[in-house]
Amino acid sequence: MRFLIVDDDESIILFLRTFLSAYAECLTACDGMEALSAFEAALEEDRPFTAVFMDILMPGMDGNEVVQALRRIEDAHNPAERFKLIMISVLTDTKNVSESFFHGRAEAYLPKPLRRETLLAELAKLGLIPPPPQSP
């Protein structure tokens, strides 16, 4: 499994990489252009990303624009499996949340500040990580 983490905040990248590296190879990008480049390279190497974690507020292209470009690239390559999109943002308004789900085809929208329990529970729900063990 491979995850792409896209955020211009190094602390968010560190937080996500810390928890996610136990489950998948994690690559990071700090802006939209870097994310597009990494995504295209992964498809060309036939090592696509299982999931993309995308911030919305970034310099240059915002996360919603980047996601639209990623989906166009993905559609052109027509991979066997589509990547799961997890949006991560301080923006929780209806416009951004709706755009992420309806135009970006997001599977999850996690508000910042991120919490470990929320992150892991959402990833388990999406089948990206094993569910936590049940307490007796």
Predicted pLDDT at 136: 60
Q: What is the pLDDT of residues 10-31, one digit of tens each?
A: 999 999 999 999 999 999 999 9
Q: How confident is the model at residue 101 (pLDDT cuts 50, 70, 90)?
A: confident
Helix (H, G, I), strand (E, B) or coil at 7: coil
Q: What is the pLDDT of residues 36-54, one digit of tens each?
A: 999 999 999 999 999 999 9
Predicted pLDDT at 91: 76
Q: Is 21 exposed, middle or buried (0-12, 13-18, 19+ CB in 10 A)?
A: exposed
Q: Hey, which bits of 7-134 come out as E strands?
A: 25-29, 51-55, 84-89, 108-111
Helix (H, G, I), strand (E, B) or coil at 77: helix
Task: Among 4-13, 24-33, 127-136, name the one with the lowest average pLDDT.
Answer: 127-136
99 conformational bin, left if phi > 0, alpha if psi -120 to 50, beta if neither: alpha
Tokens coding 45: 């190497």
For residue 78, is pLDDT > 90? no
Predicted pLDDT at 134: 67
Helix (H, G, I), strand (E, B) or coil at 53: strand
* High-pLDDT (> 70) share of the chain, %: 94
- Determine contact, residues 58/7, Cβ cutoff 8 Å: yes
Predicted pLDDT at 89: 86
The model carries a pTM of: 0.90
